[in-house]
Chain A
């Protein structure tokens, strides 16, 4: 299975809008939302059946048995995450605790143990298509582990030849977890100084992986000069440029109706079709020859 991951660096450039449109136009039978911090793909990918839901356990969290605690303060002194709070008695700050278990090591009275904690929930929709998505619980860390599970759930439940994966903004933990193992990273950027600056950083991050990195611009006509600069940058860096999508005032209302840009005839649909053809050529090109 070929996996195409959509990333952007900057948020709000149109990852989910493009992902949903590509899923529709390619009739992809496998797709996933790896933006576990703020998942949205399910809002435009209507599913007829209920999802199979699973709790996701992240790293354990420490808890202190008040009966055994002698307030020696060693746990607080050794915690590097500032997660031990002294307020009357000793307790663990649930959100600050990273689950390292150093406190259990230093406690002289065995008053601390580690307990499993649910940090997210996974949803798997299995119909004619397979859709894997998840949501990280508020304030949780280590979203990379959850992202890896989203992808595992997708892969083991499908035999499709193409998977389209919606990624998260940024360059950190969930992004790195999502890139691992994909065949192509499709970067969607926008013609703003911020979009451009963030793209350079995500290009740097993606290049540490074997995946092919390709670029498209969304809302390119909002600033043609900047769009030209981005295209030039791609040429210089030898990144395949796969297309540009015009600003479409109807985009927001389509999304709000649970639709995608390819559900309406017009320039946006044509542009996305072009992007789809280009990425398929790049993905399968060598095999065709």
Chain B
């Protein structure tokens, strides 16, 4: 079973919910798909067991074969190729690795090499397998790294927690596409509710069963809560703002390991989610 945690807005507590939820089960797999800024391993900080490179194919031109027809340059929709001083040059970071230039070249002068764009790290923390995707600084897109992370999960695997990136763009979609259930984490500001609306529309469009965790609540003024009530979205739990909790989190500590109360809150959250997924899987019962 795969549960994705997303939020639209950054900093609402995706990683906080994802890591503590992963540790509320006897055994779990945690995938950090926020490959631009992965932080889950700071909490699930088992020793690094291995690192594998994630690469993309990019074109190179055999100058002895190239006759300067420029068909590749004209074909490339991403402007990743240019013809300068009678030579084709490749802008590696702009290339989308579609392979079009290689196909279009009448001289067979284009071949591909692998270019590293990031890594997948694997760790084990207690009974949780932790996979972290990491985009190299200066690289534009982590889509391929998210793909490698999702490949780590097999069919019969136990609980899989997917920590998604912020926003509602293509990388978020990639992260949640295999998920059985989505938890939307929202904070009590108009920023939080505005971005909650964006991801809510995303999960609805992909017909993903979903519910909300309200985090850092401060009393009654909570536009995100109001949004949930207005739109009939189930609120799984409401976690009030708490300086102590903030301190533990700031230090990279899992609250379920330090606070009996939170241990119960997350256990309860997991039970609710598991029940919801079961319910979704067999709507007739």
Contact = CB atoms under 8 A, between A and B. Distances in A.
Contact of A171 (B9, B137, B166, B170): B137
Contact of B198 (A38, A101, A249): A38
B201 interface: yes
Which among A13, A59, A192 has the highest number of chain B CB atoms within 10 Å? A192
B258 interface: no
Contacts of B187: 12
Interface in A152-189: 168-173, 175-176
Interface in B230-250: 243, 246-247, 249-250
B154 interface: no
Given A11-B10, A222-B250, A201 B198 contact: no
Contacts of A255: 189-191
Contacts of A222: 243, 246-247, 250
Given A37-B166, A193-B250, A253-B221, A170 B37 contact: yes
A198 B37 contact: yes
Given A12-B187, A192-B250, A168 B100 contact: no
B198 A194 contact: no
- Interface of A, helix, strand, loop or mixed by DSSP: loop
B135 interface: yes
Contacts of A101: 75, 77, 100
Contact of A139 (B166, B191, B202): B202
Interface stretch (A48-56, A92-100, A238-246, A271-279): A92-100
B11 interface: yes
Q: Which of B99, B140, B194 has the most CB of A within 10 A?
A: B140
Contacts of A144: 140
Interface string B171-205: 11100000000000001111100110010011001
A60 interface: yes
Interface residues of B, number: 59
A278 B165 CA distance: 33
A63 to B, nearest CB: 15
Interface in A28-46: 37-38, 40, 43-44
A77 B11 CA distance: 40
B198 A197 contact: no
A139 B169 contact: yes
B190 A95 contact: no
Contact of B9 (A12, A81, A192, A208): A12
A191 B251 CA distance: 9
A184 B117 CA distance: 27
Interface residues of A, number: 60
Contacts of B201: 138
B250 A191 contact: yes
B103 A78 contact: yes
Contacts of B188: 252
B168 A172 contact: no
Interface in A210-261: 222-223, 226, 249, 252-253, 255-256, 258
A139 B42 CA distance: 29
Given A99-B77, A141-B170, A205-B138, A172 B189 contact: no
B8 A38 contact: yes
A223 B247 contact: yes
23 contacts: A11-B11, A11-B166, A16-B191, A38-B10, A38-B167, A40-B191, A59-B78, A78-B103, A100-B98, A101-B77, A102-B99, A106-B103, A139-B170, A139-B205, A141-B170, A143-B169, A171-B36, A176-B140, A205-B137, A208-B137, A222-B250, A226-B251, A252-B221
Interface of A: 8-13, 16, 37-38, 40, 43-44, 59-60, 78, 80-81, 95, 98-102, 105-106, 136, 138-141, 143-144, 168-173, 175-176, 190-194, 197-198, 201, 204-205, 208, 222-223, 226, 249, 252-253, 255-256, 258
Interface of B: 8-12, 15, 34, 36-37, 39, 42, 75, 77-78, 96-100, 103-104, 135, 137-143, 165-173, 187-191, 194-195, 198, 201-202, 205, 218, 221, 223, 243, 246-247, 249-252
